[in-house]
Each structure stands twice: as C-alpha cells, then as structure tokens.
Chains A and B, each alone.
Chain A
Amino acid sequence: MSGLDHAHREYVGSLFRNHYQWLCLRLRRHLGDGGAEDIAADTFVQLLSAPVAEPIRQPRALLTTIAQRLMYQLWRRRDLERAYLDALHLDDEAQAPSPEELAQMLEALQIIDELLDGLPAKVKATFLLSQVNGLTYPEIAAQLGISQRSVSDYMAKAIHRCLKASLE
C-alpha cells in the first residue's frame, strides 16, 4: 500500500468515527435500522475508493450527497423490481422466471432504465418494440396507434441516445 493510500484510509477512518452515527440517524427515518446502516457503510466504502481532495471542508455535505445517490439507486432498484413483477403478473403469457433469470433481468433493467432515462414514454415504447420484439415500423405504428412517421422520429431519438451513451 502506498503512503498516499494509507493517509487516505486514515482520513476516511477519522471521518467514519466522527460522522457514521450521525449519518445512520439521518438515514434511519427513511430506511429503517438495517437499511440505514447498509447505506451509511456503503457511503464510506465509496469515499475510500474515490480519492477526493483532503481535507474536505464540509464532510457532512459530501457524505449526504453520496448517501443520497446510493439511496436513489436502491429505491429505483426496488421500484423497478416491483413494477417489473407487477407487469409480469399482468402478462398472461409470462412464465415464472427462475431466481437467476430474475436477478439478471433486474440488473439489465437498471442499465436500460439509465440508458433511456428521460426519454418520453412513447419513445421508449417504440424503441423497445423494435429492439426487443423485433417489429418493423408499420407493425409498431399499428400496435401503438401512431403514424409511421412518428415511429421513425421516436426511433431516431432513442438511437441517438444509445449512440451518445456508447461514446461515453
């Protein structure tokens, strides 16, 4: 371990001693006991693996920011899981997925969710029918009750987004 790494660990360690309880308390009203401690611990793990300029002037602001992002991700994952299972539930043709399939699918869903985040619902619907179901534009237009022109426009928006993400 290099000297810098060691110093960083020492520093994060001191932050942990001073602020861990505070962060747990703050998170507890949103997450309950177990969840709060998980997120608080993950927050410090992130801080350990992502070197920041030290000393941090307002450590609690930084910790709050990191914890908040972790909570968004956790909540989004839960929202997606619930919505996905509900959607499967409503789909008469859906078979029960195996635990492995579900785990894979939820991971994929989260990536897809971030990839398409912010695009209008119609754009997402159009793109998914093309990408997942392999439908042609006339078929998509018929299924969604929109013009073929709209299908092309929506596809252009989604493809542009995916291309842009590919460059990053």
Chain B
Amino acid sequence: MSVEQERLLEQATRWIVLLRSGQASDAERQAFLAWRARDPRHEELCLRLERTLGVFQVPIAQGIDGGVLQRALDAPSSRRKVLQRALLGAGLMIGGSWSLTPTFDSLSADFSTGIGQRQTVQLDDGSELVLNAQSAADVQFDSQRRLLKWRGGEGLLQVAADRRPFILQTSGGEVYGRDARILLRDRDSQCRVGAMQAPLQIVTRGGDRLQLQPGQEVTFDRLRFGRVQALRSGDSAWVNGLLEVRGSPLSEVIEALRPYRHGVLRLDPAIADLRVSGLYRLDQSDVVLEALSRTLPIRINRRSDYWVTLTAA
C-alpha cells in the first residue's frame, strides 16, 4: 500500500471514529461531508466501506445482539495447527512456491469426528481407539512414552502391550494403564473414566490420585474425584450406535443425543430428572425423541429441525 493510500485510510478512520461516537457536533458532520466531497477518492472509499459493512445488515435485520456475534466469533480454531502438523508429519516434502512452514519436530497426528460420526482408528503401536461423535484426540508417541491427548468427547481405548507407558491426558488429569481397556468421556471439563479389563491409575491436575479396579468407573474434574461406581453395561453401548439406559435421568439421554444432532436441543430443567429406561438408536435421534414423548409426560416443540425444545406436557 502506498504512503498516500495509508494517509487516506488514516484520515478516513479518524472521521468515521468521530462520527460513530454519538458525540459529533453538527459542525463536525458538515466538515466530514466537505471532506468527502473534496476528492473523488474520498467519496469512493466511503462508498466501498458501506459495501464492506453491508454484511452487518444480516444480524441487524434478524435482531441478533452484537454480544452473541462476539461469542460466535470467539470460537477457537485450534484444529488449524494440528492439521498442518498432521498433513506434513506424514513425510510429504513441500517445495517451490507452494511452501508451507514445515514442522518435522513431532510426528503428531489428529483424529476427530463430526456430528453423528463414529470412527475406529488404529494407532501406530497397535492400540485401537473408537471415537464417538463430536470427539477428538491428538497422538504424540515417542521413544519414551505414548501420549494420547484427549481433546474432548467420548472414546473407547484398547491399549496395546508395549514397553513404553501409555498416558491418556484429559481435561481433568492423566490416566495410566497397561494393557488397559478404557472407557472415557470428557465434556465441559467433566471427565468420566471406566476401567474395563485392567486397573487404572488416575491423577487429577490438582494431584489427587485414585486406583480404579476393573469393572469400576469414576467421575472427576481438575480438582476432585466423584464416587467410584460399578461400570454399567450400557456405558459402552454407543460403540455399537446404541444408547442403553436404566432408570437414568432424561438429561443424560439428551446429553448423549446432542453429539448426533445439528443445532440446539433445549431441555426444560423441570423435566430433566424424569427417569428413562430403554434401548435407543443414536443415529435416529428424532425417532428417540418421538419415542420418549410417547412414554414420558413431555412435549416436543419443534420450531425447525435444528431448534427443538423439550418441555413438560
């Protein structure tokens, strides 16, 4: 950009910042109009700015608050870096004018599933990982250790035998296990871990330790453990695309369905504790909702496919 253009931008910026303040005087407004008329480039720039800002007519017309937009724009895009590493890490040499910044320092990979997807992946050491919908993990193996960084969601991990220790890192802490079969859920900084065949050692970020025996599960966050409970048979049913509940609160069923649905599924707190039992297909969440509405005193308010509210009937 030329020096002159830069000066033009600065002048225009000063004017517009002043006009938006809500404190500009009539004389200042007149002066702005005179500035705008003085040079066709001034006029042109102002017209172009209006065009650029035209996109904001959409939220304004829909009555969307600026704060809501702000929160949406704050959505983290942590996946970028991970992807770049993963695509390059596989040994692809990039050259010529298509050069990216190669990072060969780690052979990291990234696995993730979207809404309604489940995926089974084989890790380099022979371990097997099943990801439920809306789940993601980074794999960082080196000669000393095998580190699986859980980035959120639900998974079933079969750890292969290997001389290197296996560390499963979650938002609440780290899970250690040898030849273990681990059931994991980590959503909204609340973790639940189940030991399916070998004992697990769990250490929270805060340093609390717990030994989990096969057949047990526990919830925890960064600071504390919940009560150790017997693993329920239905906890791993999602691997087969099923949701199995026995006397569970409705809120738990809805939580399980959310990763399978686009959009908003609202649950009235008044009915969140209704008890539900049954076997449902995760891939048919609309059918599940219909079935629930037939057996429970609830009503489905469907404004559209992606905005569904459950209230008391």
Contact = CB atoms under 8 A, between A and B. Distances in A.
B293 interface: no
A146 interface: no
B32 interface: no
Contacts of B304: 96-99, 102
B143 interface: no
Interface string A108-121: 11011101100001
Chain A interface, DSSP helix/strand/loop, else mixed = helix
Interface in A99-132: 99, 101-102, 104-105, 107-109, 111-113, 115-116, 121, 124-125, 128-132
A6 interface: no
A91 B83 CA distance: 32
Interface residues of A, number: 76
A128 B66 contact: yes
Given A80-B73, A128-B66, A32 B51 contact: no
A98 B13 CA distance: 36
Given A61-B96, A156-B17, A75 B79 contact: yes
A133 B264 contact: no
Contacts of B84: 68
Interface string B67-79: 1111111111101
A88 interface: yes
B69 A115 contact: no
Contacts of B96: 57-58, 61
B93 A105 contact: no
B66 A83 contact: no
Interface residues of B, number: 72
Contact of B98 (A61, A85, A152): A61
B109 interface: yes
Contacts of B307: 96-97
Given A79-B76, A138-B22, A166-B48, A87 B66 contact: no
Given A71-B83, A83-B71, A167 B5 contact: yes
Contacts of A135: 22
Interface stretch (B57-65, B178-186, B205-213): B57-65
Interface in B19-38: 20-23
A95 B67 CA distance: 15
Contact of B53 (A57, A58, A61, A162): A162
Contacts of A96: 264, 303-304, 307
A81 B111 CA distance: 21
A163 B69 contact: no
B112 interface: yes
Nearest to B131: A32
B23 A137 contact: yes
B62 A105 contact: yes
Contacts of B64: 88, 94, 105, 132
Contacts of A90: 71
Interface stretch (B114-122, B153-161, B243-251): B114-122
A109 B73 contact: yes
B23 A115 contact: no
Contacts of B21: 136-137, 152
Given A155-B20, A165-B52, A94 B68 contact: yes
B51 A166 contact: yes
B310 interface: no
B43 interface: no
A162 B84 CA distance: 29
Given A99-B306, A105-B64, 15 more contacts: A29-B109, A29-B121, A31-B114, A57-B96, A64-B94, A65-B98, A83-B75, A85-B263, A85-B306, A87-B68, A96-B307, A125-B66, A128-B70, A132-B66, A163-B16
16 contacts: A29-B109, A61-B96, A62-B98, A87-B67, A94-B68, A96-B264, A97-B307, A121-B70, A121-B74, A132-B65, A137-B21, A156-B13, A160-B10, A160-B13, A163-B12, A167-B1
Interface of A: 26, 29-32, 35, 57-58, 60-62, 64-65, 68, 71-72, 75-76, 78-91, 93-99, 101-102, 104-105, 107-109, 111-113, 115-116, 121, 124-125, 128-133, 135-139, 152, 155-156, 159-160, 162-167
Q: Report, nearest first, the 7 A-B pairs whose CB atoms are least far apart.
A: A136-B22, A83-B75, A128-B66, A84-B72, A166-B48, A87-B71, A96-B303
